[in-house]
């Protein structure tokens, strides 16, 4: 391949590389903008008055995502025999469990899964939970609506037992036979019953998208800079060095 052919090949490859990296950077900015809008919507939902339990229970599954992060107040009876602990959950930089207990709504006959709080790990006996209380009788639960428990990576398949890595509401509905609704509530309030409720604000990873965008734009600039140096500046400098100076 002659020098002109190499020049055209390198120029084409550079153009493709710059366009691709710029497009990827722009896509990351769009993802960041989308998540910023989503975060704003979540904050707006949290600022609205609590949604009555009759209203949330009457919603169709397709309408539930629009109510995420909305506050609500549920009244019912705990079903402690179906309590689960989600392992490897952090709070205040410590490892422990999220305690999940179904709440039976007496008036409606429905059951809602509630993330009641965080329990520290029992370091003396890993497979045993530290004691915590579950009130009897009718209770009132103040919390925020969400669609499912946060998931962590797991190596095996579906989990069984009282301590699990993840929990799928539909799978747990089939496992227990409970009429669980397709949403759950994260209980809010001060520490009680041996459980902490210092829930962190939802993290949508906006900063990560800005970081990726910066990396892609930096790569585009590097590709363009290398092209200019090796295809234009360096050859001209070498040519200048080999041209005799007529003044000598």
Domain assignment present for residue 117? The answer is yes
Residue 238: alpha-carbon gap to chain centroid? 53
The verdict on 127 and 217 lying in the same domain is no
The verdict on 108 and 166 lying in the same domain is yes
d(CA 9, CA 12): 5
Domain assignment present for residue 201? The answer is no
The verdict on 82 and 180 lying in the same domain is yes
Domain assignment present for residue 101? The answer is yes
Please tell me the total count of domains within the chain: 2
Contacts of 79 (CB under 8 A, 6+ apart): 101, 102, 103, 104, 111, 178
The verdict on 168 and 111 lying in the same domain is yes
**Where in the sequence is the domain holding 159, given as residue range(s)?**
51-187
Report pLDDT for 156: 61
Task: Look up residue 59 and give its two tokens.
Answer: 């919603």
Report pLDDT for 229: 87
The verdict on 181 and 215 lying in the same domain is no
Domain assignment present for residue 196? The answer is no
The verdict on 14 and 79 lying in the same domain is no
- Is 201 within 8 Å of 186 (Cβ atoms)? no
The verdict on 10 and 110 lying in the same domain is no
What is the pTM for the complete model shown? 0.75
Domain assignment present for residue 150? The answer is yes
Report pLDDT for 158: 53
Domain assignment present for residue 96? The answer is yes
The verdict on 103 and 178 lying in the same domain is yes
The verdict on 31 and 64 lying in the same domain is no
Domain assignment present for residue 222? The answer is yes
Contacts of 218 (CB under 8 A, 6+ apart): none
The verdict on 67 and 95 lying in the same domain is yes
Report pLDDT for 243: 65
Domain assignment present for residue 200? The answer is no
pLDDT tens per residue across all 248 residues of the chain: 677 778 888 899 999 999 999 999 999 999 999 988 888 888 888 888 999 999 999 888 888 888 888 999 999 999 999 999 999 999 988 999 999 999 999 766 799 999 999 999 987 777 789 999 999 999 999 999 999 888 887 666 556 789 999 999 999 999 999 999 999 999 999 999 999 999 987 777 889 999 999 999 999 999 999 999 888 887 777 777 666 655 54
CA distances for 236 relative to 7, 208, 233, 240, angstroms: 14, 41, 5, 6
d(CA 103, CA 75): 8
The verdict on 56 and 166 lying in the same domain is yes
């Amino acid at each position: 391949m002659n020098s002109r052919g190499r020049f055209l090949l390198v120029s084409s490859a550079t153009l493709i590389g710059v366009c691709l990296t710029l497009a990827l950077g722009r896509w990351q900015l769009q993802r960041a903008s989308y998540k910023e809008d989503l975060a704003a919507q979540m904050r707006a939902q949290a600022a609205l008055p609590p949604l009555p339990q009759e209203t949330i229970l009457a919603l169709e599954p397709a309408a539930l995502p629009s109510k995420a992060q909305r506050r609500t107040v549920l009244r019912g009876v705990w079903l402690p025999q179906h309590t689960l602990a989600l392992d490897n959950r952090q709070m205040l930089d410590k490892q422990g469990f999220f305690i999940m207990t179904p709440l039976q709504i007496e008036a409606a006959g429905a059951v809602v899964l509630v993330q009641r709080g965080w329990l520290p790990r029992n370091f003396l006996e890993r497979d045993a939970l530290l004691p915590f209380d579950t009130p009897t009788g009718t209770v009132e639960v103040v919390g925020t609506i969400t669609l499912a428990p946060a998931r962590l990576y797991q190596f095996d398949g579906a989990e069984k037992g009282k301590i699990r890595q993840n929990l799928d509401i539909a799978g747990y509905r089939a496992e227990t036979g409970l009429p669980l609704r397709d949403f759950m509530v994260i209980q809010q309030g001060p520490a009680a019953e041996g459980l902490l409720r210092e829930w962190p604000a939802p993290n949508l990873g906006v900063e990560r998208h800005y970081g990726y965008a910066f990396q892609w734009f930096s790569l585009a600039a590097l590709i363009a800079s290398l092209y200019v140096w090796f295809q234009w500046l360096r050859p001209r400098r070498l040519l200048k060095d080999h041209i005799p100076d007529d003044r000598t």
